[in-house]
Amino acid sequence: MIFKALTILLSIAAISCVQSDVSDAASSEETFEPIVIDPALQRFVSNFEKKLGESFARHRVPGAAVAIVIDSSITYLKAFGKKSSKGVDSVNLETLFRLASVSKGFASILTGKVLTGNGEWEDPISKYISDFEVNPGNLADSISISHILSHTSGYPYQTYSTLIEDGIKRHRLFQELKKIKLSRKPGAIHSYQNVAYSLIEPVIESITDTTYQYALKSLIFNPLNMKTASLTYEGIKNSGNLAQPHGLKRIRYIPIKLSPAYYNVAAAGGINASIIDMSEWLKALLGQRPDVIPEAILEDVFTPQIRTSVKNYHFGNFDRPRKGHYGYGWRIVEYPNDTLIYHGGYANGFKSELGLDRSKNVAICILSNAPSRFCNEMVVDFFKEYKKYLYETKSLNSPNYLEEH
């Protein structure tokens, strides 16, 4: 595997620049001030980059892209490998990947934004969807926005996900959903959904009086400067800069056809984005863009709503003991000295993983065009290595650092 990379080390070069606003009597122009970077941080990122390269080669991933944000800055931004294992074009920082279920976190935060001043998390979705029905009918007013976003609506696990693959339109999926008998009372258990999760789309459309796509673009993508992000099959197909999805054949990944599946449940898995887009999203998730995403919304979506298993093998082995939870569109794992928030995604040959530790103000996102364990493995390895870095650099000044964090 040829390891070709485009790298932006925005915070680990000897000198880096950040943009700051300077306003005084003499000048109101924006200026750039150099920052001298901690050599220890530079060593940490260099060592982690080596691990990335080794894992990338070991998993035979055709192409991928990585963004890391540390202490409010985009510390590492890198694209490597090829758009297609059969081609010569390299992945670049604006190459589009499918986020798949990482899209769910966008939906929950968008919900928080449109609910502000207009509704509550505990509102029944029947308040916003006039023809909403469930079986049994007496529970129609019992399923709340909170239940939808935390996968506690009571529908059987992955209800009608096979119909998503068949390309059934959203309104027809919702009609089919009316026929399914709830397996449990809303709020009783966690049961992961894609079709039912996308019931949040007509809720948002009812509140905003526009399409889900337009609401997401105008309230999230545009203000965060996510210039290449989109929400349709055409958006990635016609972009001219997309990563080709791959499937495993024996021991090699081969290109497969781009599929329109899951764009019919956009809130659950329909976003396309580049790694540059995702670096801006990471900053917002760490609370660096309160003008777009207020802290109160972040606190709401990251608050555990129900206990779950820790499905991701790598997160399960980060530390012990651990407790798994689901918030609103986010998985949360509590360890003795850490709380990690994450979500992964897979759809038709694309794999993605995003994780953050808000107490340490760090976040990472990895996008790839093959369904390997590369993303999962390296996101968790990042948190392990960063924890070691913090201990090695700060333990002398704070002997109780690990207990404090």
Region 67-71 average pLDDT: 95
Q: How many CA atoms lie within 13 A of 262 on its CB side?
A: 23
Please give the CATH architecture assigned to the domain spanning 5-109+208-404: 3-Layer(aba) Sandwich (3.40)
Burial of 185 (0-12, 13-18, 19+ CB in 10 A): exposed
Amino acid symbol at 150 = S
Residue boundaries of the structural domains of the chain: 5-109+208-404
Question: Cα separation of 328 and 380, whole Å?
Answer: 21
Cβ(385)–Cβ(392) under 8 Å?
no
Do 265 and 97 contact (CB within 8 A), yes or no?
no
**Does residue 37 carry a pLDDT above 90?**
no
Query: Using one digit for the tens of pLDDT, what is the confidence trace for 334-368?
Result: 999 999 999 999 999 999 999 999 999 999 999 99
> Which pTM value belongs to this model?
0.90
State the DSSP code for 221.
I
Question: In whole angstroms, what separates CA 68 from the centre of its chain?
Answer: 13
Q: Look at residue 392 in the predicted model and tell me its pLDDT.
A: 87
Which pLDDT does position 404 carry in this prediction?
Answer: 52
Q: If we measure between CA atoms, which residue out of 53, 54, 47, 19 comes closest to residue 33?
A: 19
Q: How far apart are CA 137 and CA 61, in angstroms?
A: 48
- Among the residues of 179-270, which ranges form H helices? 200-208, 212-216, 233-237, 266-269
Q: Provide long-range contacts, Cβ within 8 A and 24+ apart, for 392-399.
A: 392/40, 393/38, 393/40
SS3 341: strand
- CA quadruple 272, 109, 164, 248: dihedral sign: positive
Q: Residue 230 above 80 pLDDT? A: yes
> What local confidence, expressed as pLDDT, does residue 400 receive?
55
How many angstroms from the chain centroid is the CA of residue 391? 27
Residue of 345, 348, 315, 343 lying closest to 331 (CA atoms): 343
- Residue 393's pLDDT band (cuts 50, 70, 90): confident
The DSSP secondary-structure symbol of 125 reads G
Pairing of strands 63-70, 73-81: antiparallel
Do residues 318 and 333 lie in contact, with contact meaning Cβ atoms separated by under 8 Å?
A: yes
DSSP annotation string for 342-362: EEEEEETTEEEEEEEETTTTE
Instruction: Give the end-to-end CA distance of the chain in Å, rounded to a whole number.
Output: 39
| pLDDT score for 39 | 86
Nearest-angstrom CA–CA distance, 388 and 403: 14
Nearest-angstrom CA–CA distance, 347 and 256: 12
- pLDDT of 17 higher than 60: no
pLDDT at 2 over 90: no
Taking only the tens place, the pLDDT of each residue in 105-138 is: 999 999 999 999 999 999 999 999 999 999 999 9
Contact call for residues 66 and 366 (beta carbons, < 8 A): yes
Place of tokens 């297609």: 84
At residue 86, the pLDDT reads 95
Whether residue 16 has pLDDT greater than 80 = no
Tokens representing 134?
A: 């469930």
Which among 42, 53, 161 is positioned nearest to 100, based on CA atoms?
161
The whole-number pLDDT of residue 403 equals 54
